[in-house]
Amino acid sequence: MTYSITEEQALSCCASKAFAAKLAAASPFADFGTLVDTARRIWWSEVGTTEWLDAFAAHPKIGDHEAVEQKPAAFAAFSKSEQAAAAESTTSAVAEELRELNKRYYDKFGFIFIIFAKGKSAPEILSYLRERYNRLPYEELQTAAREQMKITELRLGNLFGLSAEVELMQRTQRRADQVLSQLTASHAAGPLRSPITTHVLDSALGVPAMGLPLALLKYDETSKVWEKVSEGVTNEDGRVGNLLAPSNYLAPGRYRMYFDTATYLHACKKQHPNFYAEVPFYPEVNIEFVITPDKSTEHYHIPLLLSPYGYSTYRGS
C-alpha cells in the first residue's frame, strides 16, 4: 500500500504552505514510516523559522473554542479532537488563567503557546504553560517547533487511520533510553548517581557559587535542535547532583550545560557593590561536550570555575 497526500491535506496537518507544498510534491510514499520521515526532514531542514511561525499562528489558543470554529473544517476537526480532554476537564478558574497566561506568553515570545494537547487535561496544560513561560526565547521556539511536529505526525496518522502507530513511534525513542538504563543498572560498581553532575566555584570570592540556575540540554540529531533534559539551582556547596536519574548509563550524544551566570553575578553585585559590575560581562556560560558509545557507562562531572571576567572548565570525577 502506498500513501498519497495532497497539499490541502498536508495543510490540515501543518499550516505552513511551504511545508505542505514540499510534502505533497514528494508524494506518494512507499509506507507510512517514509511519509513521517519525509515530513520530519522537510520541517527541520527545508523550511525556516518564518514557516514555523505560520504553522503556529494557524492554531487556536488552548481553550478558545470560538477560534476553533473559525478554522477550515478539516483543521478545526483535528483541533477539536486534540483539545477534547482539555475541554472536558476545564473549570472557570483554569480557563481564566489560561486566557491570561496565553496573552502574557504571546506578548513575551511573539507566537501562541503550542503543545501536543491530545489526552492532556486543562490543568495539565496550564502547568506546562506556566513552566514554559519562564524559558528563554530560543529554547521556547525549539520546543514549540517540536510540539508542532508531534501534532503534524498525529494528524498524518489520523488521515490514514493510523493514530495508534504514530503514538507508538513517538514513544519509541523515549523508551529506548529508559530500557538501556535499566539493562545496565545491575552492572554498577557502586551506588548509582546521576551520570552527569556539576559544581560551580566562585574563584573571585573563593566560595561555592550558591543559587546559580543551570540546565542540561541534549542535541537531537533528527530535529537539529537542543532539547532541555533537566534543570536545577546550585545548593550551598555550589553543586547540582540530581540532573539525571541515578544510573551508570548515559545515552551517547552531544550535550550542553547552560549556566545562568547573570542571575548569580547580579546577586553578588548586591553583596559586593564595589567589586562586581552593574552589567555582568558573561551573562551566561554554555559548555558543550560529546559522549561516545564506548564511554557511555562512565561518570561525567562538568564543573565551572567562575569570576566576573573569566571562567574555565574541565572534566572532573
Give the cell for residue 129.
504553560
Dihedral of CA 262/264/269/272: which sign? negative
Question: Quick one: residue 251, left, alpha or beta (phi over 0 = left, psi -120 to 50 = alpha)?
Answer: beta
Distance CA 36, CA 42 (A): 10
C-alpha cell at 221: 540529531
Given the residues 59, 65, 266, 299, the one annotated as active site = 59
How many whole angstroms separate alpha carbon 80 and alpha carbon 94?
18
199 is catalytic: no
Q: In sequence order, what E strands does the chain have? A: 196-202, 207-208, 213-220, 225-233, 239-240, 253-259, 285-291, 300-301, 304-307, 310-313
Q: Is 67 helix (H, G, I), strand (E, B) or coil?
A: helix
Max CA distance (Å), the chain: 73
6-20 per-residue burial string, b: 16 or more CB within 10 A, e: under 16: eeebbbbbbbbebbb
Rounded CA-CA distance 187/184 in Å is 6
Contact 73, 109 (CB under 8 A): no
CA-CA distance, 88 to 81, in Å (whole number)?
11
Hey, which residues are catalytic here? 59
